[in-house]
Every structure is written in structure tokens, then in C-alpha cells.
A and B are shown apart, each in its own frame.
Chain A
Amino acid sequence: SQELEQSPQSLIVQEGKNLTINCTSSKTLYGLYWYKQKYGEGLIFLMMLQKGGEEKSHEKITAKLDEKKQQSSLHITASQPSHAGIYLCGADIVDTGRRALTFGSGTRLQVQP
């Protein structure tokens, strides 16, 4: 969706390296969701952020929502092959008029052993 931009589109890292994925909206976000999709499978919920400045962590994955609630970053520390997949951000964007998430186009992550 043009309303939610993700970067980079793809990423190849060596195992053990850190990486960051960004998700940016031109509009204020009510809530920001991060999902992971393994190739050919469904979406797995990772984290939800609602408050400006909020930060959440799960294992080696940390997500932040900036103070203005228009950008979020997903940071993976010491990446492992199990982190490989497609990471999608989804957001409840103000004034779309729809009770549904708007998704970014995804970031494809490969982790090389």
C-alpha cells in the first residue's frame, strides 16, 4: 500500500549480524502491528505498538513506535537463519474509513549461515 512504506524491500545479512526494518506512514497511526511470514505460509503476529515512544521486545526482536506515531522500526539482534522470512507492518491509519489494517509491501529477509 502507498499509505505505508517499508524499507528495505529485501535484505541479506550474515548470521549474527544486526538489522533494522522500517515502516513509515504519512498519516498518524492508531496502532502498528508487525507480522512475520515464512515463505508460502500464513502470517504470524509478532508485536503490536499503540503509544508514541512505545518499545516492545520478544526474544531478539525489538520494535519501536516513534513519538509522532508515524514510523516504526523492527530491530533484530544477532540474526539467525530462523529469522528468515517476510516481515510485514500493518497499521490502523487514521481516516481510511475502514476498520481494517493497511499493510506495507513487506521486507524479505535472508540470513546466510
Chain B
Amino acid sequence: NAGVTQTPKFQVLKTGQSMTLQCAQDMNHEYMSWYRQDPGMGLRLIHYSVGAGITDQGEVPNGYNVSRSTTEDFPLRLLSAAPSQTSVYFCASSYNSGPIQETQYFGPGTRLLVL
């Protein structure tokens, strides 16, 4: 298994540009989520999904869209990039979508710089 994969590893955008961060997992996990990590603030949840076709907002959803058309993929879209979205983005997945009892597996991250 490749686990959780993320592309690209690094991206530079100009303010106002849009882009999609890709996340895929091959473990047949129902639950997937996106976090952003900023210095001194730990990880903050952006959006999450408990299964294909179901998404919900996390702690900091503004400026981001998600969709879950398949179990394997959970892309994160930046609609109009802003410097405040400069961060490291992590995708995570776990097996079940019930009360959290399962380990979350994290991807290697995408470093995004918005100029």
C-alpha cells in the first residue's frame, strides 16, 4: 500500500490564483480530512469527509472547497489564493467514520507559498 499520498509537494502561487491539492489513499478508508499547519498553532482542521459524497466543514473552512466523489480521493481546492493561506497542508485518513477509535494516517504534506 502507498498509504496516503499528496501532490504536489511544494507549490508557489500568486494572490488570486486557484489550485487543487490532491490527496489519495489506497487503504479503503471511509474518513478523510484536510488540516493546515502553521507555526505555533499546531494543526487546524479545514474540511473532512465521512464517506463518498459527504463532506463537512472544520475549524477553518473559508477559502477552501472540497468534494468526495470516490472513496480514494479527497481534493482540496483553493478558490482565490491569499497570502494568509501560505501553510503546510496535510491530508489524513482513517478506517471508520464513527466515533473516532481508529488511528489517522497522514500524508507527507504540501507546502504552499502564496505571494
Interface residues in chain A, defined as those with a beta carbon under 8 Å from any beta carbon in chain B: 1, 4, 6, 9, 30-31, 33, 35, 41-45, 48, 50, 88, 90, 92, 98-106
Contacts and interface: CB of A to CB of B under 8 A. Distances in A.
Contacts, number: 68
Given A30-B99, A92-B99, A98-B48, A103 B42 contact: yes
A30 B59 CA distance: 19
A12 to B, nearest CB: 17
Interface size class of B (residues with CB under 8 A): 20 to 34
Interface of B: 31, 33, 35, 40-45, 48, 50, 56, 58-59, 90, 92, 97-101, 103-109
B43 A42 contact: no
Chain A contact surface mostly: strand
B100 A30 contact: yes
B56 to A, nearest CB: 7
B48 A100 contact: yes
A69 to B, nearest CB: 14
B108 A41 contact: yes
Contacts of B44: 1, 103
Contacts of A103: 35, 42-44
B104 A101 contact: yes
